Chain A
Amino acid sequence: MELVTPGIGLIFWQTITFLIVLFLLSKFAWKPIMRALNDREASIESALSAAEQAKLEMQGLKAENEKLLAQARMERDKILKEATEAGNNLVEMAREKANEEGARMITVAREAIENEKRAAIADVKNKAASLSIEIAERILRRELSDPKAQQALAQTYVSEVSLS
């Protein structure tokens, strides 16, 4: 019975002391401790989310870089292609020009040859004419008296002469 009978003295001291402890610890210990813990947790939380955000940003940057790189690569390919085309065009153009020049030169040469040929023909005609005159002269000299022989001779010469 002694054990389960609360004594007034201890009730008094316990009440007073515990309430004082509760008050003082609440004010000077638990409040700052809880606040510090909450603050730290909040700061950790924000640091983690900031890291997450940074990671996302990094990923964004990386994607953008890759995009830029791809664009640059495309640009380069385009330029290369254009340059190749331009080179090809140039070569083509030069070749065409050379062909044209060649053709022109051939034409000129052909014309020259034709002219030469014409000149040669004219020369041959002149020669033939002078030859005819010479023949006529000879006939005139030998057969002036005999018109029959004269005529036969002329006939023979004329048949001999062929205009090629």
Chain B
Amino acid sequence: MKKLFVLLFSFFLTLPAFAEDPSENFQPGEMITHHIADDYIWEFAEGAVLYLPVILIDNGELKVFSSGNFFDEYHERRPYNGYGMEHGHIVRVNEAGEPLEAHGGLYDFSITKNVASLFISVALLFGVFLTIASRYKKNAGKAPRGIQSFFEPIIIFVRDDIAKGNIGPKYERYMPYLLTVFFFIWFNNLLGLMPGGANLTGNIAVTLILALLTLLITVFSGNKNYWKHIFATPGVPWWLAPIMIPVELIGIITKPFSLMVRLFANITAGHIIILSLFSLIFIFESLAVGPLSVAFATFMNFLELFVALLQAYIFTLLSAMYIGGAVEEHEHEEDHGHGAAAH
């Protein structure tokens, strides 16, 4: 474990030179896919590359080494220790560097660019919110100051407009999750917009886990009414149950699924658009396209700054709505005869 941390931090400090082959033609599609996909190295700019640690579990055996081992001094890919990089994944290779068919038992837990970005965002979250919390303790009952006064209205907004409005009187239990998810998504969206930033919230694995947590919280906070609506929807004839129950059960899954896809698609699309606009300069190989392209990309970047906040808000809002639907108490059952349509 100690070795892992030493590796992790030593790689943050080593920035070996990176030389690209100038003879290669510009491939926008490849470039964009490369930028929005995960990677084993973190390339901030040409020549500024951070080799991140690779952690593999090969048939129960833990293997930790630097991803720099996959590159020679000319930044050419090369196999290392029986592993090689193929389409952005680590696979088993033979002596000649050709990928083997057998993938069984090889699990990749590498600290990739996204994982590194995740850690940075977490450090940022801790830094910001623990500072704020200590401020609240230090000057209790006084007016907020500095960073505290910047985040306080946002926290109050999440509490009053997202949680209280959609969950109701039991909102307090879900506040930590909603606040964490809101700031996690927002911070990571913004980090993704930084030059050289990773596309963490535009990664399906990240949104999958976030959506899964919302699903689990919703399902485990579901009260009698929630389940009654699913298994015996009020106002629906009993003989429709064979259709209604599967539909409602699918509904449980589709709600978080939409959360997952929405966040992933919005953030990835934003990255793709900005990168495409910049690619125009290289596609036309003309300086004249530059200002136009930059103007559009700047506009898009501002839009993305807004989208970063908007998507965090939407994810949190919809999570709160789903949780609210699960904990809602129906005072008058008969009034909700068509409640199923709203779900």
Contact = CB atoms under 8 A, between A and B. Distances in A.
B208 A32 contact: no
Given A25-B126, A37-B152, A14 B108 contact: no
Nearest to B212: A15
B36 A3 contact: yes
Given A12-B109, A21-B180, A29-B132, A2 B37 contact: yes
Interface residues on B, range: 35 or more
Given A21-B184, A24-B126, A37-B155, A10 B115 contact: yes
Nearest to B90: A9
Nearest to A35: B136
A18 B205 contact: no
B233 interface: no
A164 to B, nearest CB: 122
A11 B176 contact: no
Contacts of B133: 28-29, 32-33
14 contacts: A6-B204, A6-B208, A9-B107, A10-B203, A17-B122, A21-B180, A26-B177, A28-B133, A30-B129, A33-B136, A34-B172, A37-B155, A37-B156, A39-B141
Given A10-B38, A18-B209, A28-B130, 5 more contacts: A9-B109, A11-B205, A29-B130, A34-B159, A39-B141
Interface of B: 33, 36-38, 55, 87-88, 107-112, 114-115, 118-119, 122, 125-126, 129-130, 132-133, 136-137, 140-141, 152, 155-156, 159, 172, 175-177, 179-180, 184, 203-206, 208-210, 213, 264, 268
Interface of A: 2-15, 17-18, 20-22, 24-26, 28-34, 36-37, 39-40, 43
